[in-house]
Amino acid sequence: MDIVDRILISEDEIQKRVRELAEEISKDYAGKEVLLLCILKGGLMFLADLAKHITVPVTMDFIGISSYGNATTSSGVVRIVKDLEDSIEGKHVLIVEDIIDSGLTLSYLINSLSIRNPASIKICTLLDKQVNREVDITVDYVGFTVPNEFLVGYGLDFQEYYRNIPYIFILNPKYYTD
Ligand code: PRP
């Protein structure tokens, strides 16, 4: 595909790392149940694959958030466009994200989830663009630390497309201008 500058993480690499993370999570939550909380839309592919390999009892819920900032820069002020279906009170919540960039979205989200009295909140992200972090947040599980490139695929979109591509690629720069 012309849209691909180069493949950063292959399908095999993703699947291998997802299994490792699921194993780690299963050990850490042994004897407990975990509520996987998917941040739409990017976290969808990751959650689906991760959940298949977790061996403790799993429930799932989904939250949709929309940033008030412009399309390329996160403002950190987010609006909940689709709220959770069930209460998280007393539950062990594991937030599942595709990518953490500035960290502002998660920082805001954790604050608003904390007041709902969960037993615990942890974060699992497939990709960590650590170099762009603006706020200090504790990330419990990281798939890959990635460079500051425009990444697409496996949940990450370019103009809402390509979320279904099973690998992660760097977007050909000719498709964007900033
Ligand atoms: C992405 C990603 C995180 C957020 C990270 O979502 O899934 O939620 O940006 O950025 P931050 O750490 O700088 O706050 P996006 O707004 O692109 O929505 P999407 O998942 O629906 O594509």
Q: 3-state DSSP helix/strand/coil percent for the chain, to nearest 5?
A: 25, 35, 40
Q: Is the CB of 155 under 6 A from ligand 1?
A: no
Q: In the chain, what are the domains?
A: 10-148 (3.40.50.2020)
Q: Is the CB of 99 under 6 A from ligand 1?
A: yes
Give the pLDDT score at 68.
Answer: 63
Locate the ligand 1 atom nearest the alpha carbon of residue 107 and give its number: 14
101 is catalytic: yes
Give the pLDDT score at 1.
Answer: 77
Give the pLDDT score at 67.
Answer: 73
Q: Is the CB of 116 under 6 A from ligand 1?
A: no
Q: Is the CB of 39 under 6 A from ligand 1?
A: yes
**Low-confidence spans in the chain with pLDDT less than 50:** none
Q: What radius of gyration, in Å, describes the C-alpha atoms of the chain?
A: 16
Give the predicted TM-score (pTM) of the model. Answer: 0.94
61 CA from centroid of ligand 1 (Å): 17
Give the pLDDT score at 71.
Answer: 53
Q: Coil, strand or helix: which one is 145?
A: strand
In our burial notation (b when 16+ CB lie closer than 10 A, e otherwise), range 42-64 reads: bbbbbbebbbeebeeebeebbbe
Locate the ligand 1 atom nearest the alpha carbon of residue 129 and give its number: 12
**At 172, phi and psi to the nearest 5?**
-60, 120
Q: CA-to-CA distance for 25 and 21, rounded, in angstroms?
A: 6
Determine which one of 49, 98, 101, 128 is catalytic.
101
Give the pLDDT score at 178.
Answer: 58
> Strand locations in 10-167, DSSP E?
34-40, 58-67, 78-82, 92-100, 120-128, 141-145, 151-152
31 CA from centroid of ligand 1 (Å): 32
Q: How many Cβ atoms sit within 10 Å of the Cβ of residue 73? A: 12
